[in-house]
Structure 1
Amino acid sequence: MNTCVTKKLDFTVAIPTYNGGKRLPKVLELLLNQKRIENLNWEIIIIDNNSSDNTKEVIQYYQKNCSQSFLLRYFLERQQGIAFARIRAVNEARGEFIAFVDDDNLPAPDWVFQSYTFGKEHPQAGAWSGQIHGDFEISPPEDFTRIQAFLAIREHGSQEHLFDANNLRLPPGASLVVRKQAWCGSVPKELVFKGRLNKLMVGGDDTEALLYLHKAGWEIWYNPAMHIAHQIPHWRLERDYLIVLARGCGLCIFQLRLINAKNWQKPIILVKTILGNLHRILQHIIKYRGKSTTNLIAIFEINFYLASMISPFYSFRWKLDTIFKNTIVEND
């Protein structure tokens, strides 16, 4: 597990970014103008994941010209992948609570206050998230709400509740707040899923970390008082991107279900993953009757079901690759 450094502050906002030079100013301005935080000792840290644009210069400008009383710190994380960036953020953070805000997230004026207050009022909460609204460059397709969760848009109503970790119903990493003590005592130093690094765009890194928190006994909460907007550019609603996203979300399903499973449950999970998704595919084909090639939402769903069905084989391939790489290292 990670080693916690001594906490000195109440709250850390951690912004992992890759080539976010144009996006960061809008996010930083919203954070600099947060309300009801006069007595809060907090900081913003930027985790630059090998940007090739002017991200570093943007942060240097704010560091020189910001008159606020909190810290703005910058770190370069050379290991590519959002999982490495978030782990680096945890290691560098000085706050009791750590909020992960992506460089395309726009927090409401009281987002920091609501995030901090919830953590103080729920000492058993290891992680919590709120409402994530879509800020669309173009109008989304009809029935988009059926797949909006895959683009980190979450609107689960006005009542607080626990997330259903056993069924992988968990919040995304964007706009997630974690208790540093919980993360450091529960989440391994290295995660299986590193982020959407290759053409397959395999996800799972957010859910994997939360499953470890859940396994250690920490609660994971939905707090509707936290509001943040997720900017969705037009290309994220295009067919090719959505197909790759659907497949990447599906390929991690089996491996994620194994994290909290006992050994005797693993064969059952294998069978349920294959047969359950096969059933969903057949239902889908009957429902759309040939329209699945023209309906964008149907295309997304069928690709997710197919990828979920074959996720055990992807998992086995990943394990074989890992064994092979470790064998080479040992022989060297």
Structure 2
Amino acid sequence: MATVAFARGLRRGRVVSGAGQAGAMAVGVCTHNASVRILPLLRALAGLDRAEGRVSCIVIVENASTDDTAEVVRTFAGEHPEAGIELVHESSPGKTNAMVRLFEATSEPLVAMLDDDMVPSAGWARAILGVFDDEARAGAVGTPIRIEWASGPTRLAEIYRRSLGDQLLGETRHRLEGAGAFFGGASLALRRAAYEDSHWAHDRVLDCRRGAVHESGEDAELCIRVARAGWELWYEPAADTATVIDASKQTRAHLAKLRGSIAASEPVLRWIAGTTSMDEARRELEQAQRRALKAVLFDWRPTRRAIRLAERRGRVEGWRRVLELANLGT
């Protein structure tokens, strides 16, 4: 895998000055075919408060793009050398592969990740660092994610805004409690020790956005595995971000695909979290099959039929997969 580094080069083994209690933090973006949407994110990253040098680098992992995403990033990095933006290529498709590549390409004790349609506030990184400094067992930090509608929103987009990324969990910093708790991965920071303890890189079950595959839940699985490894999940409201939702993400077809993938991942996440048994999975599968058939026969609402069918079929797929995992001893 070829690597192009701007301004600083990769940091394997490098001592980073200015590190505080929890150490330095790398900021990473996993991106695929984002040439038309990534510039707002790059501008925001260039304007980040770097917390007296503790934000040591910004790494863009270009993941098997077929457009000119790499050239857009390369041009921006060249025009803003002070931002220290590095471009890394991951040839294996899939966000999970890009996430693993990000951790391989960095050595900082903290790694914060953003999706390529996100716009972080200037104080985003500093606020995250504050949590890691204050909470010694914080393994993952999630942040507010506000939706900014590029157009609309449509009625369906409003109904499914949580699925589109909305994550507003209150005005005070707090720890997420309960088995199976997780954050969305569009804005997520990890302590490297927690990432390694989770064994997610090797044991992960859910992949995400790989070609025609639109599987969800890789971020949730990572959080759940971090928590099961004995680390804590913390929410920091001061680390504000926004995600831009354009018209293409508000269509019935996109929402059906999205909701189907979420429904398929939820049973698997319950299995990973240890909150369901094989007997429960069998009962859930039978119930899911009945509900899917009922939706096919009786749910004829024109605006939501496609979405409801995708959800019902996804649930069946998810519980079937749980039983497969159980039989494999995973």
TM-score band, normalised by shorter chain: 0.7 to 0.9
Structure with more helix by fraction: 1
Please give the per-residue CA displacement for 1:50-91, whole angstroms capped at 9, x wherever unaligned.
1122222223223333242x5321111011100000111111
Structure 2 counterparts to residues 178-189 of structure 1, below 5 A: 178-189=190-201
Once the 2 structures are TM-superposed, how far is the Cα of residue 39 of structure 1 from its aligned partner?
A: 4.2
Distance in structure 1 (CA, Å) of the matches to 2:162 and 2:45:
24
Q: Measured at CA, do residues 218 and 19 of structure 1 come closer, stay the same or move farther in structure 2, by a change above 3 Å?
A: same
TM-score (norm. length: structure 1): 0.81
Question: Bigger CA drift: 190-199 or 246-255?
Answer: 190-199
User: 1:196–1:202: 8 Å Cα contact kept in structure 2?
Assistant: yes
**Amino acid aligned to 2:190:** V
Q: Measured at CA, do residues 199 and 24 of structure 1 come closer, stay the same or move farther in structure 2, by a change above 3 Å?
A: closer
**Amino acid aligned to 1:266:** S
| Residue of structure 2 in register with 1:327 after alignment | none
Percent identity for Structure 1 against Structure 2: 21
Alignment counterpart, residue 235 of structure 2, candidates 211, 222, 232: 222
Distance in structure 1 (CA, Å) of the matches to 2:65 and 2:130:
33
**Amino acid aligned to 1:79:** S
| Residue of structure 2 in register with 1:132 after alignment | 145
Show structure 2 runs of 5+ residues with no match.
Answer: 1-11, 17-23
Please give the per-residue CA displacement for 1:128-187, whole angstroms capped at 9, x wherever unaligned.
111101111222234755532211211122122233452x44211111111111102223
Distance in structure 2 (CA, Å) of the matches to 1:299 and 1:165:
33
Distance in structure 2 (CA, Å) of the matches to 1:311 and 1:33:
41
Q: Measured at CA, do residues 275 and 125 of structure 1 come closer, stay the same or move farther in structure 2, by a change above 3 Å?
A: farther
| Residue of structure 2 in register with 1:11 after alignment | 25
Structure 2 counterparts to residues 144-183 of structure 1, below 5 A: 144=157, 146-164=159-177, 166=179, 168-183=180-195
Distance in structure 2 (CA, Å) of the matches to 1:231 and 1:85:
21
Question: Bigger CA drift: 78-87 or 188-197?
Answer: 188-197
Q: What is the alpha-carbon root mean square deviation over aligned residues?
A: 3.1
Partner of 1:176, secondary structure, is strand
Distance in structure 1 (CA, Å) of the matches to 2:159 and 2:227:
26
Q: Measured at CA, do residues 154 and 7 of structure 1 come closer, stay the same or move farther in structure 2, by a change above 3 Å?
A: farther
Q: Measured at CA, do residues 83 and 177 of structure 1 come closer, stay the same or move farther in structure 2, by a change above 3 Å?
A: same
Distance in structure 2 (CA, Å) of the matches to 1:63 and 1:45:
11
Distance in structure 2 (CA, Å) of the matches to 1:144 and 1:242:
8
Once the 2 structures are TM-superposed, how far is the Cα of residue 233 of structure 1 from its aligned partner?
A: 1.2
**Amino acid aligned to 1:56:** A
Q: Measured at CA, do residues 49 and 129 of structure 1 come closer, stay the same or move farther in structure 2, by a change above 3 Å?
A: same
User: 1:125–1:220: 8 Å Cα contact kept in structure 2?
Assistant: yes
| Residue of structure 2 in register with 1:76 after alignment | 89
What number of residue pairs does the alignment pair up? 309
Partner of 2:277, secondary structure, is helix
User: 1:148–1:154: 8 Å Cα contact kept in structure 2?
Assistant: no
Q: Measured at CA, do residues 14 and 153 of structure 1 come closer, stay the same or move farther in structure 2, by a change above 3 Å?
A: same
| Residue of structure 1 in register with 2:8 after alignment | none
Show structure 1 runs of 5+ residues with no match.
Answer: 324-332
Alignment counterpart, residue 320 of structure 2, candidates 276, 297, 313: 313
| Residue of structure 1 in register with 2:280 after alignment | 269
